[in-house]
Structure formats: C-alpha cells, structure tokens
Structure 1
C-alpha cells in the first residue's frame, strides 16, 4: 500500500506502524535486547513509522527505540512521541496506571509520570525525550491522554506544539487518547494535523464514528489507529481475554466470537480482519501494531497481508455486527 499524507503537511506515513508500549514492559518485562530486536526488524521490513512515549516503561520504550535507530540512517523514518507527562523521581502514585493493585508497566526505572501541559512543560518534555532517544528531532508530537486536562492541553499545551511546528522542529502535531469525544473537542478547537485513537475504531467498537471521525473529516485531520485488537479479544475471544487492558466482559467476548465465526468460512483470521478494517476509513492513515517479540511482529505482518474477500464484510453487515454505513475495505 502506498504512503498516505498526514493532514495537510508534507509528511507521508506507511499504512502500518510500530507502537512501542509493549517494548516498555507493558504487562510483561522484556530485555533491552529483545525490545531493540523488534524495532530492528520493523525497520528492516520497511515499517518506518515508530510511535513511542515517555509513559511507556517510564522512559524504557523511548531509550530502546533510540538504541535501534542509532544503528541506521534516520532518513525515511517517521518517529512520534508524546507530551504532557514528565518523568520525575518524586512523582505521586498514579492510580490510572494500576489494575487490581498491579502496575501496567513492570520493572521500570524509579521515576513516575507527572502531568504537565504547561507551555514550558511541553518543551521540557520534548527536550527530555530527545535526550532519552538520542535523536535530534521528532516528526510527530502528540498531547498524551489529556482527558482530565483538556483546558490546559487546548491552550498552553497546544500553543507549545504550534510554536514547535512553526519553528520547523516538528512536522505534525496532534493528540493521542483512548477516548474519542475529548479528542474531537481538541480537533474542533485546535489546528491539529493528526490524532492517535486507541481502541475506539475497531471491528468491535466504532463509537468514534459519531464524534471524532466526522470532526477530522471537516478539519482535514488524519487519524492513526492504535489498539486494533482491543487489547487481545480480537485475536482470541476466549473467556478471560483482555479488552481495554483488563479482562473483557461476557458481552464483549460474545460479540468478538460472533465476528470470528463470520470470518471462519473464509479462512480469514479474526485478527487479520481487525487489522485491515480501520484502513477503509478515508481519514485513517495508519494502523499500529504492538508486538513484544520479533515472532509476534512477523505474525502481524502476515495478518496485514492476508487476502480478505469483500463478501466477508458484507456478511458482517448482514449479521448486524457492522453498522450499515461504516466504510469497509471493499
């Protein structure tokens, strides 16, 4: 598939990119060598868009991306990171980063995230991320999870990104969140190029069709889709499967299983349909995969290349598992 323009910028991204939360020890610790090997393989396989963030492993993911990128030419790589959280040794415990008392990120450096969407805080975040990665620039900067900080994100946070873009220090700016409604507010109030939406435009959940995606169409904003497998339930919808990073409810598992059953007669893995589906929307430029091993990455690429007949999408509509008006890869 050909590269796609990001918003109205001169930046073009491939249709598949590498998300690096898992490379920051999300829910499972891995070694530096294993994490760097995944990034190495992505670059070797021309998956040139790498998305990271200070939150991912409290700096681990950024430093591991930097180790891999240092070995190759920076030309042709598109690297995004996020702003709005500074990593500090005296950070108070953030309960949103725990489930049932267990942290989402395991065996991480002894620092924690502190919210800061101030003008100076955003610029400081970029400087610290450049130091962790060893890079001289980022291509995309995203306000990270500003759900409870929308006023600051839309004012001082956005102003810092706007100025960095005007100074030519970054090509595209935007925001990344798990919720579509606040992202839509930022799209309407700020001059953004791109948003990263996780989990809300998938085979299982197209809730962003009612707010974010129409706003992006009106404003010419591109959309990167993360969480295409909804944390795992769209890979294997078995009891106990994960949805939104925690155990899925029965109704979610049942719907995912029903989608899988429609895919089976076509010999199409559920995960392959999940990976391809978002790309049919005209505002979606890229989908991200988040493997923690080289083998998982290769499996993701094989899923991306799977042949999916148009009849499969039609069957999903007939079964009431897709909205009649949702775009599909026909």
Structure 2
C-alpha cells in the first residue's frame, strides 16, 4: 500500500465508501468551548474542499447542535458527494420545567436532555429525529453509541433494531462506536457488524486495539474507523498539562509523547502527521475521523495527512523502544 492512503475504502461489504480522512463533528456541538455558527459552517466547507467528505456526528454532541449545524452546512449539497454517520443509544427529549441541561463537556447547548434508550422504538425515534436535524432522508452509517455499560440491552433490543433497519435498507452500514476496544472486539465476534468506530485505542501512543479488536475485525471482515488519533490532544501538543482521555495526561505518557515528538522533529515530520498516519498500518482501518473547531484546524489536518513520512522514522521509533517491533507500520511501498 502507498501512503498516504488517498482512495476511498469500502466498509465491509456494504457498498459504503469513506475517504481515509473524515471530520469528527463533536466540536460543532460546542465541545468545551462555543464555536460561532459561521465558523462551524466554514469547518464543514473546508472538509468538503479538502476531500474529507465523511462526517461523523451524534445526538450526544451538543444535544443535537452538531447535527443541526452539519445539516445546515450540507443543505443543497449533492447527497452522493459525502458520507454521513450518526449514532443511536441516547435519545433526546425537551427539558422538563425547571430542569437544566447536562452539558457533559458541551457548552451553550439547546434545551434538551439525554435519555439512554436501546429499545427498538427508541432507536427508530432517535434516528428519525437525527434525520430531521440533519435535513436528509437517510444516513449511510448508524453506530450504537457508548453502549459498553448496556450490553444486555444491546443484545436483546439495540443491535436487532439496527439489523432490522439494515435489512429494510433504511441504512446501509451498522456498528458500534466507543472507546473500549475489548468490548468492541466481543461485539464484532458475536454479531454481524459492518464497521466500528474505535476512539483512542489504536494510536501512535496507545496500541490496545491490536491485542483484541483489530484481529477479530480482520478475521470477520469488519472495517474500523479510528477516532481520537491525538488521544484527546496529547499527540497534538505534548506540553505540560496536555489532556489524555479527557483529563490531564499522566507524567509517564506525557514524557513518552514528547519523545515521539523529538524523533518526528529529527525527520522534519510533525507529530500530528505521524499520529494521523500511524493507524493505517493495519489493514482493517478504513478511515480516521478527526475533530476540528476552526477551518484552519481542518485545513491543517488535511495538509498533515498528506505529509511525506520516511520509513526510517518508523524504524527509529522501534529502535528507541517507542513502538513495539511487531506493530504493523504504515511503510511506503
């Protein structure tokens, strides 16, 4: 395989193709800070202009704000010109009198509340509401979102409801999205899953998914979309106080990230570029979705994704003990 990967890849055998770089749309829902409306629109426009025409969103992101903004930005666009995924498992409802919205990291959100709902009717209602906010007749992919603590409901009602939607051709690809690669591995082994979105467990810094999820995905023909390639920001800027898993990074991980950055700098390669490229060493990986709160961030991600990375950089990281020698690396042909 030549790098950087540039051709769209099919998710499983669904006929759904995704570009290797997509836009994670949590920042459009005001994750941690408010994003002005026009700025949010410009992020989406920049993603389209740079070829990152896979958009992943969820009702959870800003209590529907991300979906609403994405829908406005995509209005009038050729529906065949982009791939769209959203999630179910958190149904939104209006706030009761006197009730306050639980932001869960999102600020300046609509007056709604989240309800965990893995029932058939709840999943259909959640998807219908998402389609209305997005302004489309259908999405390409639906993920069950953060279901690791609700596995009984997943097996009894949640996944059967998604499979029914797939059988009815209301959606073309189904799967799960979460941070827990071990749970994803179990679900892929047990169920007919087209694609999983795994955040933070297959990165330049953390390789947990290689021990559980990635082998079973390769065996079962399930595609992997990687999220969290910067590990919440630690691989974007490994400065003191940098976040990891949405909390301040432990000293040991911060030190390792700084060592990775030093090697990358020796080869004139951005640490972010290496972080974007690394997941594609494994054949099951189809795409990486990366968040952006400004059009400049989106443009930078697209530019870094195409940066030339010499094989010697990866070999040096292995020689210095920063990468295990048995890891699949994105080496140039």
Where on the TM-score scale, by shorter chain, does this alignment land: which range?
over 0.9
1:251-296, Cα deviation, whole Å (9 max, x unpaired): 1101100111111110101110000000121000001110100011
Equivalent runs, 1:178-217 vs 2, <5 Å = 178-217=179-218
Q: Which residue of the partner structure matches residue 3 of structure 2?
A: none
For 1:37 and 1:249, locate their aligned partners in 2 and report how far apart those are by CA, in whole Å.
35
Match of 2:20 among 15, 34, 37: 15
Question: Which residue of structure 2 lines up, in the alignment, with residue 42 of structure 1?
Answer: 47
Shift, 1:77, TM fit: 1.1
Distance 1:24 1:138 in 2: 19
SS at match of 1:148: coil
1:172 aligns with 2:173: yes
Which sits farther off after the overlay, 84-93 or 120-129? Answer: 84-93
Contact 1:154 1:189 in 2 (8 A): no
- How far apart, CA to CA, are the structure 2 residues paired with 1:45 and 1:287? 14
Runs (5+) with no aligned partner, structure 1: none
Q: Secondary structure at the match of 2:7?
A: coil
Residue 69 of structure 1 deviates from its aligned partner by: 1.1
Q: Alpha-carbon deviation of 1:90?
A: 4.2
Whole-angstrom CA distance in 2 between matches of 1:151 and 1:316 = 42
Matches of 2:116 and 2:251 in 1, distance apart?
34
**Contact conserved, 1:16 with 1:286, CA < 8 A, in 2?**
yes
Is contact 1:150-1:182 (8 Å) kept? no
* Structure-2 separation of matches of 1:131 and 1:11: 22
> TM-score normalized by structure 1?
0.95
1:113-154 alpha-carbon deviations (Å, 9 max, x no partner):
110011111111110101111110000000000011012112
> Is the contact between residue 95 and residue 111 of structure 2 (CA under 8 Å) also seen in structure 1?
no
| Residue 93 (structure 1) shift | 8.3
- Structure 2 distance, partners of 1:238, 1:329, is 26
| Structure 1 runs (4+) greater than 2 angstroms displaced | 89-94
Alignment of 1:118-129 (within 5 A): 118-129=119-130
2:77 match: 72
Can you list the C-alpha shifts for 1:219-259, whole angstroms capped at 9, x where unaligned?
11000000000111101111100111121111110110011
SS at match of 1:126: helix
Give the TM-score normalised by structure 2. 0.94
- The match for 1:134 is 135
Compute the displacement of 1:155 (Å): 2.6
- Separation of aligned partners in 2, 1:304 and 1:134: 30
Q: Which runs of 5+ in 2 are unaligned?
A: 1-5
Structure 2 match to 1:2: 7
